[in-house]
Amino acid sequence: MKTLSKRILLAAVALLAAGLIASPVHADDTIRIGSFLAETGPAEFLGDPELKTLQLYVEQLNDAGGVLGKQVEFIHYDTGGKASEARTFANRLIRQDKVDFIVGGSTTGPTMAAVPVIQQAEIPFISLAGAEVITQPQKKWVFKTPQSDRQAARRILQDMKERGYTRIGLISGTGGFGSSGRAVTLEEAGDFGIEIIADETYDPDDTDVTAQLTKIANTEGVQAVLDFDFGSGPAVVTKNYRQLEIDLPFYQSHGVASQSFLDLAGEAANGTLVPSPAVLVADQLPEDDPQYEVATRYKDDYESTYDEPVSTFGGYAFDGLNLLVKAIEEAGTTDADAVRDALEQIEYAGVTGFYHMSAEDHMGLDATSFRMLRVEDGSWKLVE
């Protein structure tokens, strides 16, 4: 019997080391929220404000007494924007850190790499990445806060339609975000009576895209141009666009809705039209706007704490954390199933838009949550 007991103990230790059975749970008086973010690397301009936002508001929550009387412990890892790292850290958060919930995933690739791990663990996950593939097809434990690339395409196409542009040129990055944005734009254009008569792509690391832009500009009948991508690529496209003196309305996607784009593109950005959540222009909203109070509060909190401009990406984190806290409070427990069920019933006015979550929709936003902005004198200006 002693030999058998010893074997069982050794087997349990081996399984524990492999992360296949649970280790002792954390203290009952804390709620552990985990995160994996692109704090460094090419997507740092997303992950950095997301991390700062989560740290700021977790501290505020704890100063106010926590959630359900429990202090919140925030555990985060830097993926560097790499999908393999995201999967590794999701495993670590779940099996070693024993988090109750996860809010994170700056970009689509890392988010999707982590999804199978999170689905298997059956804990609520709120992603801060944009592509519709994150929640479509729907996944039981996965939610997200940014509008989808399809919704961005719809908002841009609607604006073009209202301005009378029916034949346009499209240029997009070949990375995951750009490719997905291109695909949904091609799918949606016809519903708005718009024909895409020029279609070019570029590598996200390209330092010159004048050849592609020249082809678009020389296509007879083009009335406006859309670039769909994020990162440094859109700044290159914007600079080349102005250098070529293309005299056509120019649109970018919501992937550039931050100060980083303005800094990279400089004066060339002036005149660019971009769909964006209201937070970038919170101080330009009328005081009776339903989003004025929450957007202004977040903008003031963030900018006074970090002495840098607010971004839409930090706003996604703000909404992700608030959605989670609201669900925990409405569930009255940290039980994973109860919180997941509560998330499916939430209505919440955030800085990104009005969330109407449901069992059929784990994002809860539509294209009307975007405001159309124009860059004027190096700043974002509300144009609607």
Structure tokens at 272: 């660019």
Whole-number pLDDT of residue 130: 86
Residue 211 to residues 50, 170, 244, 317, 343, Cα–Cα distance (Å): 36, 14, 10, 38, 47
**Residues of the chain where predicted confidence (pLDDT) is lower than 50:** 1-25
pLDDT at 384: 67
Instruction: Say if residue 167 is exposed, middle or buried (CB neighbours under 10 Å; 0-12, 13-18, 19+).
Output: middle
**Which pLDDT does position 27 carry in this prediction?**
55
Rounded to two decimals, the pTM is 0.88
pLDDT in tens, 136-187: 999 999 999 999 999 999 999 999 999 999 999 999 999 888 999 999 999 9
Could you state, in order of their start, the residue ranges of all structural domains in the chain? 10-147+299-367, 150-276
pLDDT in tens, 273-328: 999 999 999 999 999 999 999 999 999 999 999 999 999 999 999 999 999 999 99
pLDDT at 103: 98
**pLDDT (0 to 100) of residue 159:** 98
Give 4's contacts (C-beta < 8 A, 6+ positions apart). none
Domains 10-147+299-367 and 150-276 are alike in CATH topology: yes
pLDDT of residue 177: 87
Reply yes or no: is the peptide bond before residue 137 cis, omega within 30 of 0: yes
Closest alpha carbon to 37 in 97, 73, 100, 90: 90
Q: CATH number of the domain at 150-276, out of 3.40.50.2300, 3.30.420.40, 3.50.50.60, 1.10.1060.10?
A: 3.40.50.2300
Helix (H, G, I), strand (E, B) or coil at 115: helix
Residues in the chain: 384
Give SS3 for 89. Answer: helix
- The domain defined by 10-147+299-367 folds into Rossmann fold (3.40.50)
